[in-house]
């Protein structure tokens, strides 16, 4: 870049949907993804939902020659599923695990077990540009009409935004790629973009090629669940490439592409999500640029207010659950104490020979112990949830004050 003032960066982002035993035709698709990446030679590849470390290792072996640098982010029980392949040296990595990520007892949704995180790679391109590329995935949306996870997803969007704000000063360019599980007009996206100044590659791209409206979950992908997309005949856009320049650089999106239901030249798709591919043009400029927020600040304040209201709703729900699980634990404890008193009374010969049948008495005691343990565990979990929601609400309040005081 020293001679040529323009750098062209080709970025690939995909939610791979590679869950062992559950995802359809997983191995075949991972192989296909590997072949395509090797053929296309992107500069940076951000992958999500690579849940099996084996798949990552296979990809690493296959891509070793063209992407000599890679990193797999480990977290949670199953993992974060995030990995990154790069043609340029990765200087440093950092993993930030979101403080809230669903409920451990919602086994059918399973987000809690994944340890969803944002993984940050600081890498070095040529002799000038240091690029930060957080790869991330937020909590899934299972029901848009009655979205019980909205407060958790907003906490994650806020934490992601804060994480990017605080870490991005170490870079010239920030690139974020990931499955954000939010539609473009959703409050979480407005919050993330407003608070960080990130630009959306789809809306900024000079040329676009791919699914209509840039959708990444489309009905003509054979792996998507058609009933879930009924209200959205074109599909939905939930996978993004976002970017901004920090210091004396400018970034422009020359071209954005998505796959369109099948992998190029194949009869099956890479995943149930479409891949997003951006060509970015990075230029050094004389004056420090800095993305002007200015007029956008009113909309940002609106987004923060809206998000704070939703977090408040989640907080009150969490407080109710903390209260009811606490009450349940106390009741179970009282039942146990009552039983212990009755048993002691019988032993001491105070009552008649055997007032209760032994078996049901024991069963009841075990039931009470079970309920006590479960309710205590849930109470502790919801106590943590309340603390984190309160903390986020407080941070948002502080941000709103700062926005009002320094407009």
Binding site for a copy of itself (CB under 8 A): 71-77, 79, 90-97, 99, 113, 115, 120, 122, 162-163, 165-167, 169-170, 358-359, 362-363, 366, 380, 383-384, 387-388, 390-391, 394-395, 398-399, 402
Q: Among residues 337 and 402, whose Cβ is nearest to a copy of itself?
A: 402
**Catalytic residue from among 125, 152, 273, 379:** 273
Q: How many Å from the N-terminal Cα to the C-terminal Cα in the chain?
A: 37
Closest separation in Å from C-beta 24 to a copy of itself: 25
Q: Among residues 169 and 226, whose Cβ is nearest to a copy of itself?
A: 169
Q: Among residues 328 and 364, whose Cβ is nearest to a copy of itself?
A: 364
Task: State yes or no: is 382 an active-site residue.
Answer: no
Rounded Cα gap, residues 349 and 98, in angstroms: 57
3-state SS assignment for residue 103: coil
Closest separation in Å from C-beta 66 to a copy of itself: 20
Cα–Cα distances (Å) from 155 to 6, 44, 226, 364, in that order, read: 37, 28, 29, 40
Long-range contacts of 183-187 (CB under 8 A, 24+ apart): 183/236, 183/237, 183/238, 184/237, 187/154, 187/303, 187/306, 187/307, 187/310
Q: Which are the contacts of 58, defined by CB distance < 8 A and separation ≥ 6?
A: 30, 31, 34
Cα–Cα distances (Å) from 310 to 154, 295, 307, in that order, read: 8, 24, 5
Q: Among residues 197 and 210, whose Cβ is nearest to a copy of itself?
A: 197
- Which has the closest alpha carbon to 249: 290, 208, 218? 290
> Which segments within 238-308 are labelled E, that is strand?
239-245, 249-258, 276-284
Q: Among residues 138 and 278, whose Cβ is nearest to a copy of itself?
A: 138
Q: What are the percentages of helix, strand and coil residues in the chain, rounded to 5?
A: 45, 25, 35
Q: Among residues 99 and 281, whose Cβ is nearest to a copy of itself?
A: 99
Rounded Cα gap, residues 266 and 385, in angstroms: 45
Closest separation in Å from C-beta 169 to a copy of itself: 4
Catalytic residue numbers? 273
């Amino acid at each position: 870049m020293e001679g040529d003032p323009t750098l062209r960066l080709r970025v690939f982002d995909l939610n791979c949907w590679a869950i062992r035993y559950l995802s359809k035709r997983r191995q075949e698709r991972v192989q296909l993804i590997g072949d395509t990446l090797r053929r296309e030679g992107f500069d940076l590849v951000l992958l999500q939902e690579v849940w099996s470390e084996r798949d990552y290792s296979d990809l690493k072996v296959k891509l070793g020659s063209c992407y000599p640098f890679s990193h797999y982010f480990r977290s949670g029980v199953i993992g974060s599923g995030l990995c990154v392949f790069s043609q340029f040296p990765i200087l440093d990595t950092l993993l930030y695990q979101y403080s809230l990520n669903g409920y451990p007892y919602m086994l059918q949704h399973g987000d809690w077990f994944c340890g969803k995180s944002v993984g940050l790679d600081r890498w070095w391109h040529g002799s000038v540009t240091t690029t930060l590329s957080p790869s991330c995935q937020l909590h899934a949306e299972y029901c848009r009409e009655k979205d019980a996870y909205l407060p958790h997803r907003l906490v994650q969007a806020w934490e992601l935004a804060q994480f990017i704000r605080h870490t991005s000063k170490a870079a010239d360019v920030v690139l974020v790629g990931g499955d954000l599980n939010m539609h473009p007009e959703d409050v979480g996206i407005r919050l993330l973009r407003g608070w960080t100044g990130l630009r959306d590659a789809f809306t900024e791209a000079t040329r676009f090629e791919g699914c209509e409206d840039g959708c990444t979950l489309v009905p003509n992908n054979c792996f998507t669940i058609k009933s879930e997309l009924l209200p959205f005949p074109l599909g939905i856009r939930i996978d993004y490439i976002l970017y901004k320049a920090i210091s004396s650089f400018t970034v422009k999106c020359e071209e954005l592409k998505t796959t369109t239901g099948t992998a190029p030249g194949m009869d099956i798709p890479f995943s149930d999500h479409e891949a997003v591919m951006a060509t970015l043009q990075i230029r050094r400029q004389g004056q420090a640029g800095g993305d002007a927020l200015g007029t956008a600040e009113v909309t940002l304040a609106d987004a923060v207010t809206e998000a704070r209201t939703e977090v408040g709703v989640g907080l009150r729900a969490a407080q109710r659950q903390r209260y009811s699980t606490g009450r349940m634990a106390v009741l179970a404890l009282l039942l146990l104490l009552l039983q212990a008193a009755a048993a002691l009374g019988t032993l001491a010969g105070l009552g008649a020979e055997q007032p209760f049948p032994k078996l049901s008495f024991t069963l009841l005691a075990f039931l009470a112990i079970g309920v006590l343990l479960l309710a205590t565990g849930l109470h502790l979990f919801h106590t943590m949830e309340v603390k984190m929601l309160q903390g986020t609400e407080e941070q948002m309040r502080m941000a709103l004050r700062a926005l009002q005081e320094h407009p």
